[in-house]
A and B are shown apart, each in its own frame.
Chain A
C-alpha cells in the first residue's frame, strides 16, 4: 500500500501528488493503487504532480511512463505536472524521452489540458 501518497478526485480527474522519495516497492504499488482508483472512480484523466521530486532516475521515469500507458488502456489520459528544471535537464541529457506522456508546467496547466474531461 502507498498510504502516504493520497489519490484525490476532482470531477472525473484523479490527482496524485508525490511528495516522498519513491522506493521501487512504493513506486510499483502506486501504479496498482492508481489503476484501482481509476476503475473505482470512473476517472477519465490522471494528473501526476512531481514537483516534490529533485531527482528522477530512469527507473522512476519508467514507472511513471508505464503508469500513463496503463491508465491509457483504461481510458484515462495522463498529464505529469511540475517537473523541475534540473530533473528535465537530467532526463534529456541521459537520453531519456517520455514520448507517450503529456506534461504541464503546473497543476493549473495540467487540469486545463484535461479540460474537456473536467467539463463533463
Chain B
C-alpha cells in the first residue's frame, strides 16, 4: 500500500515553471533522502517531462507527491496536459525521434531513469504521465 505523505500541484505554463517544478522535485527528493543518483534521476525526469508538457502539450499541470510504502519513501510525479496527445506512442517511447528541436530522448530517457512509468495518451485529448523514484533498498 502506497500512501501519499504530501502533495504539491504546480502549473506548467511557461519556461520558468519548468525550473520551478524541477527545483521542487529536487528539494523533495533530498528531503526524503534519495541518494544523489536517484535525486538526479527523478529531477532530470521531472525536467524532461515538464518540458514535454510545455512544448508538446501546450501547457498543463505537474503534481509532485512524497509517497511511502511503509518502509521507504519515494517521489511520484504526475504530468497532465490537454494537448494533441501522442499519435505514435511506440515510436515516442523508443527514443531518438523528435517532432521539435529537442533531442527526442525526453520520454524514452525519463522512462529509463525511474522505477515506475505509466502513460495514458489520447489523440486530440491529451497526455498523462506518472513516474516514481524510490529510495534504494
Contacts and interface: CB of A to CB of B under 8 A. Distances in A.
A23 B15 contact: yes
Interface in A1-32: 21, 23-25
B75 interface: no
B44 to A, nearest CB: 5
Nearest to A53: B40
B19 to A, nearest CB: 5
Interface residues of B, number: 28
B70 interface: no
Given A54-B43, A95-B112, A86 B15 contact: no
A54 B41 contact: no
A54 B112 contact: no
A86 B112 contact: no
Contacts of A61: 103
A69 B113 CA distance: 27
Interface in B4-34: 15-16, 18-19, 22-23, 26
Interface residues of A, number: 22
A57 interface: yes
B15 A94 contact: no
Given A23-B19, A55-B26, A94 B110 contact: yes
A87 interface: yes
A13 B43 CA distance: 33
A69 to B, nearest CB: 14
A58 B106 contact: yes
B108 A93 contact: no
Contacts of A23: 15-16, 19
A47 B13 CA distance: 34
Of all A-B residue pairs in the complex, the 10 with the closest CB atoms, nearest first, are A94-B109, A86-B40, A57-B47, A58-B103, A86-B36, A55-B43, A86-B37, A90-B40, A24-B15, A58-B105
Interface of A: 21, 23-25, 54-59, 61-62, 84-87, 89-90, 93-96
